[in-house]
């Protein structure tokens, strides 16, 4: 169905993503205040502006005070306003605003992470299509655009009746467990999303068992055999990258960023500031990253401590990607969503992924 006119609701979680660069793994509860103390920027406002800058003038908008209306004001986009009495908004405000939009909007755009997606699901169920603008620290759900810039293309396909409406998974994890290195994602429910292949991300895949362990063991042995004694290696989160640390006999941060030099630990659970300080001390540096199962992200999901500034210091040509073959077989392409559109364009092309001892596969970064 082609729409003659479309009203879009915009909900921006003002604290989503603030914990990423400062290494807090999220902004629920006390982490929000910690993020402010550490100087975190309002990532969701930046992501929302990137998403809406190209949206065009063939839609009308409604948003809420302190939850997106300021973004529309910045972009000069006219909109109706839903009043919100709380300046420091909460999940209950998100649900209340979404509940109002459910009855008056054709599509709801929400900017945040998995926790925001869960709040939207609680409020609207499958009564109205929604689409997530990725801005959170963790985004394992399949209801988000791959990057903020992809939002306008999905919206225009929706308006033209060229996007399938499909039920997509809402996943969430316990942030306190996450901060303690325990990853336990679970299915929370389903939201209806306008879907375009490659432009809407998949849910994170989980791979367990002896076979996966043997695969990552081979990958680790190979990477270690190629390490140079004069180079700093920054090692990203995840079990595959973590196995490299284990095979060197070192402790590692499963869901954080570590670094080694000449097989000795130089830093653990580093945030952006720590990485910038450490990387700046070495002339030669490499970045080892795992690939998220089914999603294909190697930057921008679960490793936001590795910011564009850190990536540029290390060099886009100095990235080593690792994955077990079982996980790799589920992927057709790779993705990077660094928060810097220009850097994302530089990272596009073809990249090798190590999946066995001495074995690599080439995938396209789209």
Strand order in the sheet with 7-12: 79-82, 60-64, 7-12, 107-112, 130-134
> 300 to each of 45, 126, 139, 236, 272, how far by Cα in Å?
16, 28, 9, 12, 13
DSSP 197: T
What mean pLDDT do residues 201-215 have?
67
Whether pLDDT at 22 is above 50: no
Q: What predicted TM-score, i.e. pTM, was given to this entire model? A: 0.86
> 154 to each of 64, 85, 98, 107, 225, how far by Cα in Å?
23, 32, 20, 11, 44
| Per-residue pLDDT, 31 | 45
| Average model confidence (pLDDT) across the chain | 88
| Per-residue pLDDT, 41 | 63
Q: How far is 319 from 298, CA to CA, in rounded Å?
A: 10
CATH number for domain 7-195, candidates 1.10.3120, 3.40.50, 1.20.58, 1.10.357 = 3.40.50
280-321 pLDDT, tens digit each: 999 999 999 999 988 999 999 989 999 999 999 999 999 999
257-279 pLDDT, tens digit each: 999 999 999 999 999 999 999 99
340-357 pLDDT, tens digit each: 999 999 999 999 999 999
104-127 pLDDT, tens digit each: 999 999 999 999 999 999 999 999
DSSP assignment of 269-328: S--HHHHHHHHTT-SSEEEEEE--TTT-EEESSS-TTS-HHHHHHH-GGGEEEE--HHHH
- Kindly provide the b/e burial profile for residues 29-66, where b requires at least 16 CB atoms within 10 angstroms of the residue's own CB: eebbebbeebebebbbbbbbbbbbeebeeebebbbbbb
């Amino acid at each position: 169905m082609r729409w003659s006119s479309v009203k879009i609701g915009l909900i921006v979680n003002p604290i989503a993503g603030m914990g990423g660069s400062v290494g807090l793994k999220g902004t629920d509860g006390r982490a929000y205040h910690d993020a402010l103390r550490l100087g975190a920027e309002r990532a969701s406002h930046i992501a929302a502006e990137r998403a809406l800058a190209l949206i065009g003038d063939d839609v009308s908008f409604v948003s809420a005070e302190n939850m997106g209306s300021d973004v529309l004001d910045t972009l000069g986009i006219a909109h109706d306003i839903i009043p919100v009495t709380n300046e420091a908004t909460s999940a209950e405000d998100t649900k209340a605003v979404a509940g109002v939009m459910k009855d008056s909007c054709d599509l709801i755009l929400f900017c945040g992470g998995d926790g925001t997606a869960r709040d939207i699901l609680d409020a609207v169920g499958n009564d109205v299509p929604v689409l997530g603008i990725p801005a959170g620290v963790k985004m394992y759900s399949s209801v988000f655009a791959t990057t903020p810039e992809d939002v306008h293309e999905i919206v225009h396909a929706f308006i033209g009746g060229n996007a399938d409406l499909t039920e997509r998974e809402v996943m969430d994890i316990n942030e306190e467990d996450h901060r303690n290195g325990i990853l336990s994602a679970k299915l929370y429910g389903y939201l209806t999303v306008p879907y375009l292949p490659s432009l809407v991300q998949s849910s994170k895949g989980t791979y367990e068992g002896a076979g996966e362990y043997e695969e990552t063991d081979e990958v680790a042995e190979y990477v270690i055999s190629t390490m140079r004694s004069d180079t700093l290696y920054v090692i990203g989160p995840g079990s595959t990258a973590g196995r490299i640390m284990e095979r060197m006999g070192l402790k590692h941060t499963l869901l954080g960023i570590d670094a080694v030099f000449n097989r000795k630990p130089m830093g653990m659970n580093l945030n952006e500031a720590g990485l910038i300080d450490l990387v700046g001390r070495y002339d030669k540096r490499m970045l080892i990253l795992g690939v998220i199962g089914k999603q294909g992200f190697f930057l921008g999901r679960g490793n936001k401590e590795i910011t564009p500034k850190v990536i540029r210091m290390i060099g886009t040509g100095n990235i080593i990607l690792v994955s077990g073959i079982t996980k790799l077989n589920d992927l057709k392409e790779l993705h990077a969503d660094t928060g810097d559109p220009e850097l994302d364009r530089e990272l596009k092309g073809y990249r090798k992924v190590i999946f066995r001892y001495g074995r690599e596969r080439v995938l396209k970064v789209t």
